[in-house]
Amino acid sequence: MSGGVPALVLGTYPFVTSSNCTVGGVCTGLGMPPQNVGEVYGVVKAYTTRVGIGAFPTEQDNDVGELLQTRGKEVGVTTGRKRRCGWLDLVLLKYAHMINGFTALALTKMDILDVFPEIKVCVAYKVDNELIPHFPANQEVLQKVEVQYDTLPGWNTDISTARTFQELPENAQKYVRYVEEYLEVPGKGVSPSGCIIKGLHWSLGEV
């Protein structure tokens, strides 16, 4: 979880960092005005991970989470501790978009999902059977949310060698489009693990 969730002021306190890791931190950290920031890319894994303790609504403490962790080689760089893994949380991403103002998305590690026949994405939270309209940056509330999922078909194809959007299988393309449409942010790149696909650009308007 990143892009504001661990941020000191806007994050899921007390499980936060000691600094501002939103796009606003660029201004306060470098002493530059906001109009100089330019494009803001949301670099997002195709699934969600978290290190350490704290609420994690879409965490899969089961075979799915273990497979995501193993395939994605999800371990802390410094500690070597396994990261917690779960399905993509679009409610969380919408919050990250709200506080950072993404102008485009870059979706990474798509190939980790290659083996799943079905892929879930979180599209809403409920508390006490009531839909809540936003991500609650409050641990007490977040611990109680019931996740609402949409289920998308997997692609069961190795996409690690894809170098254009058109080379992705249809269901992988649909997954990317789904994320774009939910967040209302155009995609500008996608990559498999350990590889950035140069020139792999698309937008909602393209065929």
User: Is 45 within any annotated ligand binding site?
Assistant: no
CA gap 151, 149 in Å, rounded: 6
Long-range contacts of range 201-207, CB-CB < 8 Å, 24 or more positions apart?
201/165, 202/165, 202/176, 204/177, 204/180
User: Is 77 within any annotated ligand binding site?
Assistant: yes
pLDDT, position 40? 85
CA gap 92, 79 in Å, rounded: 25
User: Is 28 within any annotated ligand binding site?
Assistant: no
Per-residue pLDDT of the chain (207 residues; tens, 9 = 90+): 444 454 434 455 555 554 556 666 667 666 677 677 778 888 889 999 988 778 899 999 999 999 999 999 999 888 888 999 999 999 999 988 988 889 999 888 999 999 999 999 999 999 999 999 888 877 888 889 999 999 999 999 999 888 788 889 999 999 999 999 999 998 887 777 755 544 444 443 342
User: Is 17 within any annotated ligand binding site?
Assistant: yes
Q: Flag whether the pTM goes above 0.95.
A: no
User: Is 176 within any annotated ligand binding site?
Assistant: no
Who's near 22: CB < 8 A, 6+ residues apart?
3, 4, 7, 10, 99, 100
User: Is 150 within any annotated ligand binding site?
Assistant: no
Buried b (16+ CB within 10 A) or exposed e, 86-125: bbbbbbbbbbbbebbebebbbbbbbbbbbebeebbbbbeb
* All domains of the chain in start order, with CATH: 24-191 (3.90.170.10)
User: Is 110 within any annotated ligand binding site?
Assistant: yes
pLDDT, position 128? 92
Report which of 92, 88, 89 is spatially closest to residue 112, judged by C-alpha positions. 88
pLDDT, position 67? 98
User: Is 98 within any annotated ligand binding site?
Assistant: no
User: Is 24 within any annotated ligand binding site?
Assistant: no
pLDDT, position 29? 66
pLDDT, position 6? 47
- Give phi and psi for 100, each to the nearest 5: -115, -25
User: Is 91 within any annotated ligand binding site?
Assistant: no
Query: At 95, is the secondary structure helix, strand, or coil?
Result: helix
